Structure 1
């Protein structure tokens, strides 16, 4: 349980691009035929956390975009 908390804290520090890169690495790892069941489980948990983090970051950006007042953009 403590390890999951540490993993979650480390993931929260990642940028969107870094998290996507980690997800890509997990995808490469799970395609290995010699991967152990334990490694599959760990990759699944980490992948789920990374995906959730990316979704949260995207929601924040979407909210920021929705809050932009068009008057300040000086669009003609």
Structure 2
């Protein structure tokens, strides 16, 4: 079995894209079913760490997007009142309909 602390540190340093690539490789190896049991356990553990790492990275990006959205919406606020635009969701031109 690999050292969990070292593995956690290695995973923590990965970018989202690199972690996803490695996770896909781990899943592929496990799906083949040809790895010895001890190696399969190590791969599973690594896969779980990678999945959690990717989830954390996505959550951080989602948080940043929310903040940017709030800042952008705040730019359209005048005198403490938000501008609103009345839009009828059913007011669609016939040529814009998909069928």
Please say whether Structure 1 and Structure 2 have the same fold, judged by a TM-score greater than 0.5: yes
State whether structure 2 residue 49 is matched by structure 1 residue 46.
no
Deviation at 1:3, TM superposition (A): 1.2
Flag the structure with larger Rg: 2
Deviations 1:49-74 (A, max 9, x none): 000000000010000011111129xx
Q: Report the Cα distance in structure 2 between the residues aligned to 1:66 and 1:52, rounded to whole angstroms.
A: 21
Query: Using the alignment, how far apart are the partners of 1:40 and 1:13 within structure 2?
Result: 23
The list of structure 1 runs, each at least 4 consecutive aligned residues, that deviate by more than 3 angstroms after superposition, is none
> Relative to total residues, which structure has the larger helix share, 1 or 2?
1
Q: Give the structure with the higher percent strand.
A: 2
Cα RMSD for the two superposed structures: 1.7
**Counterparts of 1:55 and 1:32, CA distance in 2:** 25
Larger RCO: Structure 1 or Structure 2 (Cα < 8 Å, ≥ 6 residues apart)?
1
| Structure 2 unmatched runs, 5+ | 77-99
Question: What does residue 32 of structure 2 align with?
Answer: 32
Give the distance between the partners of 2:23 and 2:55, measured in 1 at CA.
13
Question: C-alpha separation between the residues in 2 aligned to 1:23 and 1:49?
Answer: 9
Query: TM-score, normalized by length of structure 1?
Result: 0.85
